[in-house]
Amino acid sequence: MLKRVHFPASLLPYLLVAPQVIITLIFFIWPASQAVYQSFLIEDAFGFSTEFVWFENFEYLLQDDHYRDSFGRTIFFSAAVAFLSMSFALILAGFADRVIRGSTTYRTLLIWPYAVAPVLAGALFLFMFNPTIGIFPYLLEMVGYDWNHYLNGRQAMFLVIIAAAWKQVAYNFLFYLAAMQSIPRSIIEAAAIDGAGPIRRFATIIFPLISPTTFFLLVINAVYAFFETFGIIHAVTQGGPANSTTTLVYKVYNDGFIGLDLGGSAAQSVILMFMVIVMTVIQFRFIEKRVQY
Amino acid sequence: MVENRPLLSILAHIVLLLGVAIVALPVWITFVGASHEAERMLQTPIPMLPGDQFFVNLRQTLWGSGLEGTNTAPVWMMLMNSMVMALMIAIGKIAISLLSAFAIVYFKFPFRMGFFWMIFITLMLPVEVRILPTFEVIADLGMLNSYWGLTVPLIASATATFMFRQVFLTIPDEMLESARIDGAGPMRFFWDIVIPLSRTNIAALFVILFIYGWNQYLWPLLITTDTDMMTIVVSIKQMLEAAEQSPQWNIIMMTALLAMIPPIFVVIAMQKLFVQGLTETDK
Amino acid sequence: MAGITLDSLTKSYGPTEVLHHIGADIEDGEFVVIVGPSGCGKSTLLRMIAGLESITSGEVFIGDKMVNGLEPADRDIAMVFQNYALYPHMTVRQNMAYGLKIRKMPKAEIDRRVQEAAEILEIAQYLDRKPRQLSGGQRQRVAMGRAIVRDPQVFLFDEPLSNLDAKLRVQMRLEIRKLQKRLGVTSIFVTHDQVEAMTLGDRLMVLNGGYVEQFGTPIELYERPASVFVAGFIGSPAMNFFRATADDLSVTLPNGAVVPTAQSARGGVICGLRPEHLVRDPSGPIEMEVELLEHLGGVTLLHGPLQGTDQQMVISLEGISEIQIGDSLRFSLPPELVHLFDAQTDRRIG
């Protein structure tokens, strides 16, 4: 935590932490407390009057079918993104760990989507799946399947999921490959001498040994799907059709900036904050474990 | 690998190449889209091989007025805005995190832990969950449509502070003692010893933060209403909307490509630092 | 140049006092070694003199100046650390010049001093290398060089040889000694190695549990150890101790053997006999059964119990001996080489 020796106390350390602390106070602590405060208010549409209503906004939210649907949808969306991108990355990492030469080359060829902004990932998939000119609707039509994610909510959800998963493959691949490469070769060799073939080795030795990484990635992917996919949804579906892709974060934005429902949006923010806190705690508890591992 | 099974190795290469192809497909299609005339992109099936209009499109996208029917700024201007924003965020985050981590590790002063926890809390408050009130603060401070408004609220960083704290803790205590005997004061020690000893960590973090900054979307979307301040990542959304009326997919795809290239270039050119930065900040 | 005076120096961490009223007068140009087992407080004491640890009570003088309130940089000292603490990103030259640069010394003077120190230490050809390109011994020299260029009043060494291999350690030990004599700078050297302490120091301060056991020349410590601790710590192999009963000028060992002494005492005492002081004597009072022999070439070590007891002892005989395991031998020694200590206080009698 602290050095055994340090400089004598003076005004200096306060000056050093000042920029960080001032920015934190103005742009983090103050807005967050405002969000908490506003979540107890109801404001009329013109902003003329506000009323302090305690937990009414929260009660309203929890009874609101739209909000509850959005909640379930977000969880489904996150789980699907995490599962899709993690399993794809795991397979690729498993093979990349096998090849003697070229695993770094494959790494280079696979990690760059990390650098693509979510909204751009959305734009790319939107282009490929554009009902009029996209390549995939064209191919699907040939086998008799009608694609139009502007009308079909399931198709819209599928599209944002694969766009979000595509971008995250890079990150998952990187961590899986690193985890596999850190397994001592002697363990794998011992398993080979015990007569375990490649598939069996992967299932019984490698996969259990990298389970801490799997758990870590699960949390990271959940956080990603919750908070960082706003751009994808905003670009591809704008939450539609008929709210079928409205995740919690998209709803906060939509209710606050488009619907101008201050109290409701603030109450949603507070709930999200609570969820971030839970995820952060999980993440940190996990890190303690990983240090021992 | 352990045993010699040529077939398995070939299979591995096939699967990996397939994986690379799947991952690269969206960008290939984008590239193809950016290399044809606008009219060609309206006939199905759209081409799967590049056309000959790439440089024509590039010139038109970069220096032209952008897409017809939209009010976006010229693309070169948006690229510049993105660059300024990404650099300000990356450098700003690194600078204030270095300073606060240095204070927290090398000084013992009242409220030290209080400050530490205050910085820690920022981890729990991503911009997405405090959009509206933060927007109000920026509006009240008159920072809308400015580089400061775009970047300053994003530069407080618990992750970077923690990382530097970790790095500083690995610098042997004797460095400080030796510097004290040599007569170096705190700031001198910071510049002459601490910064040089953390420079690979700084570089690694810079790569990550540059990408983070470049790819910001929600925040610039709210803060920049002025087209002159628009970043390239934000402009894509506007172009997609305009595409309903004026489907110039070649320009849109070219813009998307231009928006992707700088961060992808950074990742590939500084792969080692990038991997180091990614694994360290998430520890 | 200056001497150092420690006046009743005390160090506490919270309620725990780790150094108790340490007092010493170190003369100008003297080489003092602080020696003791790990955890005895020797490094803490050195760091208090350097100004790297706060002083709970008492005073440190360098020359005539009380330095308690001074920063390390203002005490006119130089320190060589156990792990050398070279700045890894600076070349040897920059490492050595850093302190001078901060003092805003003219460039030409810095260059001259660095060059001179490098030549003394025979590292002139490495001046433009980084520390990681040097061997352990070379790094050690750079650390010394960094101290020398400062031309300080005092050198402080914090176990600087413990990271070197055995052969290099002996060599560097001699070089440090020569260098210190040549420069004549007052030096304090901390070590846990008693051989290092004996060979380096003009005087040794033996620390144990935060107390000074004895402060004197190596010969004094060897010939007149002030306590059981010093007697056991100085000398190799270590002194043999027996609980004994004294009766004026003789003591009776546990097996009834009567050994004449020069010290006068009565009642329960601790009797110490150095392995190298015992000589073969068929009529000697001390009988030992040889269980194990160690042939070291120059000397032969005999291990075994004092006859009639189960208490192990060691005897060191010169040369290669024809003694066999299982032999029972008799030894004696001059009365003035028998050391007697108080059984209660462990302090030397007389």
Q: Which residues contact C318 (CB under 8 A, 6 or more apart)?
A: C298, C299, C300
**Complex prediction ipTM:** 0.86
CA B131, CA A34: separation in Å to the nearest integer?
Answer: 11
Q: What is the pLDDT of residue A292?
A: 35
Q: What is the pLDDT of residue A293?
A: 34
Same domain, C177 and C253: no
Cβ of residue B205 closer than 8 Å to a chain A Cβ: no
Q: What is the pLDDT of residue A288?
A: 53
Q: What is the pLDDT of residues B172-217, one digit of tens each?
A: 888 888 998 888 888 999 999 999 999 888 998 899 899 999 998 8
CA B26, CA A139: separation in Å to the nearest integer?
Answer: 15
Four-CA torsion B6, B10, B12, B14, nearest 10 degrees: -170
Residue count (chain A): 293
Q: Which two tokens stand for residue C222?
A: 């060897």
Q: What is the pLDDT of residue B221?
A: 87
Sort out which chain B residues have CB atoms less than 8 A from C84's CB and list them: 174
Cβ of residue A13 closer than 8 Å to a chain B Cβ: yes
Yes or no: say if C172 and C203 are a contact pair by the CB < 8 Å rule: no
Q: Which two tokens stand for residue B72?
A: 């976006």
- Distances C166 to C135, C137, C163 between C-alpha atoms, Å: 15, 11, 9
CA A67-A70-A76 angle, to 5 degrees, is 150
Taking the CA of residue C179 and the nearest CA in chain B, the distance in Å comes to: 21
Sort out which chain B residues have CB atoms less than 8 A from A13's CB and list them: 103-104, 107, 109, 112
Q: What is the pLDDT of residues A179-223, one digit of tens each?
A: 888 888 888 888 888 877 788 888 888 888 888 889 888 888 988
CB atoms within 10 A of CB C83: 16
Contact C79 B177 (CB under 8 A): yes
How many CB pairs (< 8 A) connect A and B? 290
Q: Could you give the angle at which helices A30-38 and A262-292 cross, rounded to 10 degrees?
A: 130
- The candidate with the shortest Cα–Cα distance to C270, out of C331, C228, C320, is C228
Question: Is residue C110 helix, strand or coil?
Answer: helix
CA C200, CA C33: separation in Å to the nearest integer?
Answer: 7
Cβ of residue B173 closer than 8 Å to a chain A Cβ: yes
Yes or no: say if B124 and A36 are a contact pair by the CB < 8 Å rule: no
Contact B253 A27 (CB under 8 A): no
Four-CA torsion A67, B218, A171, B171, nearest 10 degrees: -120
Sort out which chain A residues have CB atoms less than 8 A from B256's CB and list them: 120, 123-124
Q: Which residue of B has its CA nearest to C101?
A: B182
Sort out which chain B residues have CB atoms less than 8 A from C77's CB and list them: 181
Phi then psi for residue C38, to 5 deg, are -65, 140
Q: What is the pLDDT of residues C63-96, one digit of tens each?
A: 888 998 888 888 889 999 888 889 988 999 999 9
**Running DSSP on this structure, what letter comes out for residue C193?**
-
Q: What is the pLDDT of residues C231-247, one digit of tens each?
A: 999 988 899 999 999 88
Residue count (chain B): 283
Cβ of residue B210 closer than 8 Å to a chain A Cβ: no
The answer to whether residue C331 sits within a structural domain is: yes
Band (pLDDT 50/70/90 cuts) for residue C60 is: very high
**Would you give the distance in Å from CA C272 to the centre of its chain?**
21
CA C74, CA B183: separation in Å to the nearest integer?
Answer: 7
Contact B20 A106 (CB under 8 A): yes
**Between residues B49 and A71, the one the model is more confident about:** A71
Q: What is the pLDDT of residue C4?
A: 92
Contact A2 B96 (CB under 8 A): no
Phi then psi for residue C190, to 5 deg, are -105, 135
- Decide if pLDDT at A291 tops 50: no
Residue corresponding to tokens 């090849």: A99
Contact B182 C73 (CB under 8 A): yes
- Amino acid present at B247: P
The answer to whether residue C347 sits within a structural domain is: no
Q: Which residue of B has its CA nearest to C96?
A: B182
- Decide if pLDDT at A80 tops 80: yes
B interface mutation test: which of C81, C155, C157 has the most B CBs within 10 A? C81
Subunits close to C (at least 3 CB pairs below 8 A): B
The answer to whether residue C100 sits within a structural domain is: yes
The answer to whether residue C349 sits within a structural domain is: no
Q: Which residue of A has its CA nearest to B253?
A: A124
> Which secondary structure element, helix H or strand E, spans residue C41, and what is its range?
none
The CATH number of the domain holding residue C115 is: 3.40.50.300
> Which secondary structure element, helix H or strand E, spans residue A52, and what is its range?
strand A50-52
Same domain, C213 and C250: no
Cβ of residue A249 closer than 8 Å to a chain B Cβ: yes
Q: What is the pLDDT of residue B213?
A: 92
Taking the CA of residue C194 and the nearest CA in chain B, the distance in Å comes to: 25
Contact A20 B156 (CB under 8 A): yes
Sort out which chain C residues have CB atoms less than 8 A from B202's CB and list them: none
Q: Which residues contact C119 (CB under 8 A, 6 or more apart)?
A: none
Helices (H) and strands (E) in chain C, counts: 8, 19
Sort out which chain B residues have CB atoms less than 8 A from A231's CB and list them: 217-218, 233, 237
Q: Which residue of B has its CA nearest to A120?
A: B256
Q: What is the pLDDT of residues C135-166, one digit of tens each?
A: 888 998 999 999 989 889 999 999 988 888 88
C-contacting residues in B 124-163 (Cβ below 8 Å): none
Phi then psi for residue C28, to 5 deg, are -60, 130
Q: Which residues contact A281 (CB under 8 A, 6 or more apart)?
A: none
**Would you give the distance in Å from CA A235 to the centre of its chain?**
17
Q: What total number of domains does chain C contain? A: 2
Radius of gyration of chain B (CA): 24
Q: Which residue of A has its CA nearest to B28?
A: A124
Contact A21 B119 (CB under 8 A): yes
Band (pLDDT 50/70/90 cuts) for residue C337 is: very high
From the number of C-beta atoms within 10 Å of its C-beta (0-12, 13-18, 19+), residue B168 rates as buried
- Decide if pLDDT at A5 tops 80: no
Q: Tell me, letter by letter, the H, E, C secondary structure of A65-106.
A: HHHHHHHHHHHHHHHHHHHHHHHHHHHHHHHHHHCCCCHHHH
Band (pLDDT 50/70/90 cuts) for residue A45 is: low
pTM as predicted: 0.84
B interface mutation test: which of A88, A114, A127, A180 has the most B CBs within 10 A? A127
Q: Which of B120-124, B144-148, C147-151 has the lowest mean pLDDT?
A: B120-124
- Decide if pLDDT at A286 tops 70: no
**Between residues B6 and C196, the one the model is more confident about:** C196
Q: Which of A98-102, A234-238, B255-259, C317-321 has the lowest mean pLDDT?
A: A98-102
CB atoms within 10 A of CB B76: 15
Cβ of residue B197 closer than 8 Å to a chain A Cβ: no
Sort out which chain C residues have CB atoms less than 8 A from B175's CB and list them: 85, 87
* Percent share of chain A, pLDDT over 90: 20
C interface mutation test: which of B167, B181, B199 has the most C CBs within 10 A? B181
The answer to whether residue C348 sits within a structural domain is: no
Taking the CA of residue A116 and the nearest CA in chain B, the distance in Å comes to: 6
Mean pLDDT across chain B: 84
Query: Could you tell me the CATH superfamily of domain A64-292?
Result: MetI-like (1.10.3720.10)
Q: What is the pLDDT of residue B283?
A: 44
CA B247, CA C250: separation in Å to the nearest integer?
Answer: 116
**Running DSSP on this structure, what letter comes out for residue A182?**
T
Band (pLDDT 50/70/90 cuts) for residue B228 is: confident
- The candidate with the shortest Cα–Cα distance to C145, out of C108, C94, C104, C181, is C94
- The candidate with the shortest Cα–Cα distance to C81, out of B172, A5, B194, is B172
B-contacting residues in A 46-75 (Cβ below 8 Å): none
Subunits close to A (at least 3 CB pairs below 8 A): B
CA atoms within 13 A of residue C48's CA, in its CB half-sphere: 27
Band (pLDDT 50/70/90 cuts) for residue A153 is: confident
Residue C207 pairs in a beta bridge with C212
B73-280: what CATH class?
mainly alpha
Same domain, C170 and C311: no
Q: Which residue of C has its CA nearest to B193?
A: C87
Q: What is the pLDDT of residue A164?
A: 94
- Decide if pLDDT at A3 tops 80: no
A-contacting residues in B 136-155 (Cβ below 8 Å): 136-137, 152-153, 155
B-contacting residues in A 261-280 (Cβ below 8 Å): 262, 265-266, 269, 272-273, 276-277, 280
CB atoms within 10 A of CB C155: 23
- Decide if pLDDT at B64 tops 80: no
Q: Which residues contact B239 (CB under 8 A, 6 or more apart)?
A: B66, B67, B70, B72, B251, B252, B255
Facing B180 at nearest CB: one of C71, C82, C87: C71
Q: What is the pLDDT of residue B36?
A: 83
Contact C85 B180 (CB under 8 A): no
The CATH number of the domain holding residue C318 is: 2.40.50.140
Cβ of residue B196 closer than 8 Å to a chain C Cβ: yes
Q: What is the pLDDT of residue A44?
A: 65
- Give CB contacts under 8 A, 24+ apart, made by B48-52: B48/A135
The answer to whether residue C350 sits within a structural domain is: no
Q: Residue C24: left if φ>0, alpha if ψ -120 to 50, beta else—which one?
A: beta
Yes or no: say if B239 and B72 are a contact pair by the CB < 8 Å rule: yes
- Give CB contacts under 8 A, 24+ apart, made by B14-21: B15/A91, B15/A92, B15/A95, B16/A92, B16/A95, B16/A96, B16/A99, B16/A106, B19/A88, B19/A91, B19/A92, B19/A95, B19/A110, B20/A106, B20/A109, B20/A110
Helices (H) and strands (E) in chain B, counts: 15, 0
Burial C95-119 (b: 16+ CB within 10 A, else e): bbbbbbebeebeeeebeebbeebbe
Q: Which residues contact B235 (CB under 8 A, 6 or more apart)?
A: B66, B72, B73, B75, B78, B255, B259
CA C22, CA C45: separation in Å to the nearest integer?
Answer: 9
Mean pLDDT across chain A: 84
Cβ of residue C54 closer than 8 Å to a chain B Cβ: no
Contact B177 C52 (CB under 8 A): yes
Facing B172 at nearest CB: one of C72, C73, C85: C85
Q: Which domain holds residue C334?
A: 240-342
Yes or no: say if A156 and A148 are a contact pair by the CB < 8 Å rule: no
Query: What are the sequence ranges of the domains in chain A?
Result: 64-292
Cβ of residue B108 closer than 8 Å to a chain C Cβ: no
Cβ of residue C96 closer than 8 Å to a chain B Cβ: no
CA atoms within 13 A of residue A227's CA, in its CB half-sphere: 23
Contact C50 B177 (CB under 8 A): yes
Taking the CA of residue C76 and the nearest CA in chain B, the distance in Å comes to: 9
Residue count (chain C): 350
**Between residues B61 and B15, the one the model is more confident about:** B15
Phi then psi for residue C257, to 5 deg, are -65, 135
Q: What is the pLDDT of residue A290?
A: 46
- Decide if pLDDT at C26 tops 70: yes
